[in-house]
Structure 1
Amino acid sequence: MSSNTLAIDPVERSAIRKATWRLAPFLGLMFFINFLDRTAISFAGPHGLTKDLGLTATQFGFAAGIFFIGYILLEIPSNLALHKFGGRRWLARIMVTWGIVSVLFTWVSGVTELYVLRFLLGIAEAGFFPGAILYLSTWVPARHRANILALFYIAQPMTTVIGAPLASSFIQAHGFFGLEGWRIMFFGVSIPAIVVGIVTWFYLPDSPKDAKWLSAEEKRWLTGELAREDSAKREPHNGSIGAALSSGRVWLLALIYFGMIYGLYALAFFLPTIVSGFEAKFATKFSVFQAGLIIAIPYLPAAIALYLWSRDATKRGVRAWHIGIPALVGAISIPLALYMPTPETTVACITVTACAIFSALPNFWALPGRFLSGAAAAAGIALINTIGNVAGFAAPYVTGAVKDYTGLYQAPMIIVGAFMLLSAVLAFLVGREIRKGGEGTRAYAPLRP
């Protein structure tokens, strides 16, 4: 039996429970709004935006992907600013800023404006996701981190479960205030970012010692345990920003993350378009709302799979195969989806892909905090997310360009599978090093109290 399953001290149990349920759901709400705003273009594309602005698949893919150029440019500086100014202030600032930019999509009138706004949205959102990961990592010891990150990460698949029908409802309000449905959708999904950003300023404490909902004993335990963990990270790159950015461990994790994010965003940005293509391929007809429900189908099982897989990782300690097996399943299933003979089997295959991607991601993010702390953690986590989000630009752009060239989505989905296979292979290589007990792999070994 894993030592993670042994009985724990009542103060520890109480402190972890309070931190988890006070923070993870709220940051999950923030992540829900974040992912919905950045992927809103995927719902708008097949429901008027592409036609009204005269976009090709390549132009649509570029518009979806250019978000990540701005995002990448400010990712590391933003996370270092969060480390300096505190999570409460910086995450609130990020949300209000991206909400303001997102609202402006309501009035976009051409492809150039669309490119500019997507680029600015990336700049505005830069640092939110790695900042949220860093913030949560400073609240719980490593052995509890996979669980709190899983509860936070559930917001991402639930964005589509709830967000796709919600976006479809806004789109169906076509003509309200004289606006096209896709414009109403952009406005409707943007306002919550501004509202929740303001609430964030007052709701989030910066650290355990500032949490009024923790008892004095719980504060002492959390701060003492986190300080003990930080002091145990003895390797030279733990506190150095420069050394963290040049660390082989960090870059290996970044490459694994790249492949998974390539699959995530290829699926997120083009699934609505693929579903809209069912009409021509399978001679079916769906309303806008029905299409939204179909898009949501894969993500509810994905949320359940994410939670159960992460519970297993929490019990055993995160192993490399907690990342490698889902990545391998996704690598096989995502290209197969477009060769399925019916809409039902296509959606079933996409569901397997979604379950695979979302099962791997929260367990992946339990790894960097094992060997990085302080400013190095801020820089290292931001670098990993930055490299991963290069795939966020590449996936939609390459997918759109290859589709335009071939006329089909089969070839770009094979490319997606290849990148996810890369992630799986690298994760299993990490696992082999663990089993050999090689020097320099301790960061990936299962955690023990």
Structure 2
Amino acid sequence: MVIFADRVDAGRQLAERLRHLRDRDVVVLGLPRGGVPVAFQVAEALHAPLDVIVVRKLGVPYQPELAMGAIGEGGARVLDSEVLTLTGVTVEELRTVEQRERALLNERVAGLRMGRARVDLTGRTVVIVDDGIATGSTARVACDVARHLGAATVIMAAPVVPAETVGNLPGADEVVCVLAARQLVAVGNHYRDFSATSDEEVVVLLDAAARRMRNGRVVVDDLDRDVEIPVDGVLLEGHLRLPKGATGIVVFAHGSGSSRHSPRNQFVAEVLLRAGLGTLLLDLLTADEEPNRANVFDIELLASRLIAATAWLQHGPETSQCRIGYFGASTGAGAALWAAAEPGSDISAVVSRGGRPDLAGARLPIVQAPTLLIVGGADEVVLELNRQAQARLRCRSRLTVVDGATHLFEEPGTLAAAANLATDWFIRYLLPERGENGDDTTPAGRSR
């Protein structure tokens, strides 16, 4: 039974079950990797700091799948005295295993925190979040480690958990979930999109959460809200975020089968926000329109909606002075370029990621906004379509190939590479005080 679109959707649903904690001294801890996107949504809803909780199992030397204990940060160690007694593991053997696992734990933490200090848990309510609980072994260890690090109350939260785990998880004062499954075969069965979360995504989310912290407390002074944009008798749903002092906004034109909740587009948006750019994640079709595949490929319809959303931003009190760029993926790239070619368009830059710029057709030669085409090196058909489309562009343009990436940029590091390329391009043309307006040529060569 699928009940979550993806981890972002799951996190928002889980946050609703935890809203009663909003006025308490709460810290949200995500279990890497998949638990962090869920935890990010929970922390945002609770206005709470976000951190990771990294644990390592201590396996019996001659039977490593059998846990004799676990370790966490700050010297936290939890031992299973029964297993130690039954197996006869010596003090020296335990020390050897712990030293090895401690080194791996420290390396993992350093890679995720990137120099950020661990959030102090002393005397606080700690909500540990994962994307689902199967056996519960990791959840139990995480709860024990959080308690060892000073947590006064430990709540384990996950979108889906086995029914028998609710009210019966050692180490947790409470278990909160959206779905208590009587027969939990696999956590991923309850998600439409359960694609792997990368370390890069975790780092970006932790960075985004850290930006909201000031003097140890969460400060919400940026514009961050759901919006509805009226267009031709329908309401388009979106989410607008504008960092304080931002002078540029990137509007996302999602591809077929995607939405404003897309983990990939949300990841790119977080990278842009970290650079001081605003973002508008926008659904160009309503929930009733999306099932009709003809609408998904109606580039003129999608572009008209994008143009209307742009006008809405240009007349908004907080956004009217901002330069606007488009980020298009898949069919959304065709719509973005079509809209950018509209007479009188005031679009400052366009970026296409794994896009179909060819779908803008005869409008390509009249696009004036500087355009970056990012394509995966393993996405050969789309790469050729991008080369042909770029040959028709007369504006400043660049075609950049990310080696090893397929159409959705799911390979490790490839989405982060695309996000960084897009950020550099938008900084250059939306924040000219920070960028360098050097020339790009058309057609451009292959860059990496």
Shorter-chain TM band: under 0.3
Scaled by the length of structure 1, the TM-score of the pair is 0.26
Scaled by the length of structure 2, the TM-score of the pair is 0.26
Determine which structure has greater relative contact order: mean sequence separation of CA pairs < 8 Å that are 6+ residues apart, divided by chain length.
Answer: 1
